[in-house]
Structure 1
Amino acid sequence: MELTVYLAGQIHDDWRGEVKKLAKERDLPLHFVGPQENHDRSDNIGEDIMGEQPNKVFRDDAASSVNNFRTQVLLQKSDAVIALFGEKYKQWNTAMDASAAIQLGKPLILVRPDSLVHPLKELSNQANVTVESIEQALDVLAYIYE
């Protein structure tokens, strides 16, 4: 049984690649989806589809509507969600995706460092499982197959 896992979180480093590598090493039957990882493509998609916008506000609005559509489709098709909160980047997209997963009734694994326990306490309380590393998140998914 292959599960589809949505990887929610920032796109500025290769944490998704690490998750995929570790899952492959463990021979876990997981298929991963997530947000558009090409930052320029994500920022430009609205204008690429709808044409040049009159200013940056409209440009961002057009891009966010297309990105939100993509996220909603992929979240709905996913069996589970891993939402990673890290130390370095602002985490608005991660919080939005985690909240959407909760609203859709998707099982959610929240990954957050010890330093973010307090600011994420409400979201952590709504997640199915909260862990501190991607290795622990994969341990949770591996437990499904035992």
Structure 2
Amino acid sequence: MKVYLSGEIHSDWREQIISGCQAKNLEITFVSPNTDHESSDAAGDCLGEESNSFWRDHKSAKVNAIRIQNAIKSCDLAIIRFGDKYKQWNAAFDAGYCAALGKPYITLHSEDIVHALKEVDGSAQAWATSPSQIVEILAYTLNP
């Protein structure tokens, strides 16, 4: 199974899921967007220097989209994490892209933002509040 880990980059939720799945010997390949903020912001710098930050961000978003769209198209399942500290518009976009492609996804977020994510959760196959719940869903999915 190939699982795409989308969303928040300021905590260790990805590592918790990966290590939890390894502990259960689940045969899963994990892929992610670039989780290094600085290099993600600089992804389009190879296309030429920009004096306006809007155009730098625009170029980098397009270059990052190549990686993200390919990862979503080729995954079997996406896990989409929404953190509490920042607005993850990119994660919401990834969820919408999954929904448009018919790719199953699970959202991962706390209860206090459930109202803001009601449409995103509405298309998800599950809503989890902890990485350990994600591990249990993956284990159930892979073990008959």
Q: TM-score, normalised by structure 2?
A: 0.94
Measured in 1, the distance between the counterparts of 2:94 and 2:18 equals: 19
Aligned match of 1:15 = 13
Correspondence 1:80-91 to 2 at 5 A: 80-91=77-88
Q: Deviations over 1:26-48 (max 9, x none)?
A: 1111110011011111001101x
Aligned pair 1:56/2:57, yes or no?
Answer: no
Which 5+ residue runs of structure 1 have no aligned equivalent? none
Output the amino acid matched with 1:103: A
Distance apart, 1:25 and its partner CA? 1.0
Correspondence 1:29-108 to 2 at 5 A: 29-47=27-45, 49-108=46-105
Distance apart, 1:18 and its partner CA? 1.4
Aligned length: 143
Secondary structure at 1:53 match in 2? coil
Which 5+ residue runs of structure 2 have no aligned equivalent? none
Distance apart, 1:14 and its partner CA? 2.1
Contact persistence 1:10–1:93 (CA under 8 A): no
Contact persistence 1:19–1:134 (CA under 8 A): yes
User: Which of the numbers 121, 128, 142 marks the counterpart of 1:131?
Assistant: 128
Q: TM-score, normalised by structure 1?
A: 0.92
Distance apart, 1:54 and its partner CA? 3.5
Aligned pair 1:118/2:115, yes or no?
Answer: yes
Distance apart, 1:13 and its partner CA? 2.2
Secondary structure at 2:3 match in 1? strand
Q: CA RMSD of the aligned region, Å?
A: 1.1
Percent identity reads 38
Q: Deviations over 1:2-60 (max 9, x none)?
A: x110001111222211111111111111110011011111001101x212123111100
Name segments (4+ residues, structure 1) moved above 6 Å.
none
